[in-house]
Structure 1
Amino acid sequence: MMRAVSLLAVASAAAILSACAGGVEPPAERGVCYVVEPGADGADPAFNVLARDQTQIEFCAARLEEMRLRFLGLGGNRRDVIGVYQGQFIFIDRAGVWFGKSLDGPRFMALARTGDGRLAVPGAIEQAPVAPGQ
Structure 2
Amino acid sequence: MTRKTFVSAAAPVIALGLLGLTVAACAQKGVEAPTETGVCYHVVLAEDGKSAPQINVVARNQPQIEFCAARLEEMRLRFLRLGGNNRDMIGAYQGQFIFIDRGGVKFGKTLTGQRFFALTRTGDGRLAIPGAIQREIDGRPVAVAP
Interval containing the TM-score (normalised by the shorter chain): 0.7 to 0.9
Q: Cα gap change, 1:129/1:67 in structure 2, threshold over 3 Å: closer, same or farther?
A: same
Distance in 2 of aligned mates of 1:90 and 1:18: 25
Taking the aligned partners of 2:33 and 2:88, their CA distance within structure 1 comes to: 18
Amino acid of the residue matched to residue 122 of structure 1?
A: P
Aligned to 1:7: none
CA distance in 1, matches of 2:114, 2:96: 12
What SS does the corresponding residue of 1:103 show, helix, strand or coil?
Answer: coil
Matches for 1:52-63 after TM superposition, within 5 Å: 52-63=60-71
Alignment RMSD (CA, Å): 2.0
Where structure 2 has 5 or more consecutive residues not aligned to the other structure, the ranges are 1-21, 140-146
- Superposition pairs for residues 58-77 of structure 1, below 5 Å? 58-77=66-85
Match of 2:56 among 48, 66, 76: 48
Give me the whole-angstrom Cα distance separating, in 2, the residues matched to 1:130 and 1:76.
Answer: 42
Q: 1:130 to 1:82 in 2, by over 3 A?
A: farther
Aligned residues: 118
Q: Normalization by structure 1: what TM-score?
A: 0.80
Q: Percent identity?
A: 65
Matching residue within 26, 30, 38 for 1:23: 30
Residues 1-134 of structure 1 mapped to structure 2, 5 A cutoff: 17-19=26-28, 22-41=29-48, 42-129=50-137
Task: Give the superposition deviation at 1:16.
Answer: 5.0
Cα distance, 1:123 vs structure 2: 1.2
Distance 1:130 1:105 in 2: 41
> TM-score if structure 2 supplies the norm length?
0.74
Stretches of structure 1 lacking an aligned partner (at least 5 in a row) = 1-12
Larger Rg: 2
Q: Cα distance, 1:127 vs. partner?
A: 3.6
The CA deviation string for residues 29-79 of structure 1, in whole angstroms up to 9 with x for no partner, is 111000001113121111100111111101100000000000001111010
Find the residue that maps to 1:61 and give its secondary structure: helix
